[in-house]
Amino acid sequence: MKRVYIAGPMTGYPGFNYAAFDDAAGRIRFTHADAKVINPADNHNRQTDLPRWMYISKTLDQIRGLANLAYSTAADSMVAVLDGWRDSPGARLEVDAARQVVLPVYPLECILY
């Protein structure tokens, strides 16, 4: 089973860019019916007024958990990045964390086949 974490920009985007995250999650599920998609837009019941550290802590925990599953199972685990991720400090942190724990990182379009 594929496990895919979606990373991308949120801060400063209308609606925190949740529409792009939701679209990506739907597209991943459509092309990989068995995929477990981790959509950070779903964190904290989509609450958007919490301190920034709470969001970052949760996403880093999710990436660490994904890496643990990748090492302990035969699952294909990865991070899919949305357009604009390089301009987002939070998304860059997620990508760096994924790379530190040896999770592959791909542009979203590369995993949709």
Grade residue 74 by pLDDT with cuts at 50, 70 and 90.
Answer: low
CB 91 within 8 Å of CB 13:
no
pLDDT for the residue 30:
96
Q: Which two tokens stand for residue 58?
A: 């949760």
Overall average pLDDT of the 13-22 stretch: 97
Token pair in block for residue 92: 């860059």
Q: List strands edge to edge, sheet with 76-81.
A: 36-38, 2-7, 76-81, 105-107
% of the chain at pLDDT higher than 70: 97
Is there a contact between 55 and 90 (Cβ–Cβ < 8 Å)? yes
Q: What is the rounded distance in angstroms from the CA atom of residue 103 to the CA atom of residue 45? A: 26
pLDDT at 57 over 80: yes
Is 22 a residue whose pLDDT tops 70? yes
Query: In the prediction, which pLDDT does 97 show?
Result: 97
Burial of 64 (0-12, 13-18, 19+ CB in 10 A): middle
pLDDT (average), residues 89-102: 96
Supply angle C-alpha 18, 66, 34, rounded to 5.
75
Q: Is the pLDDT of residue 9 over 70?
A: yes
Alpha helices in the chain (DSSP H): 18-31, 52-72, 89-100, 108-111
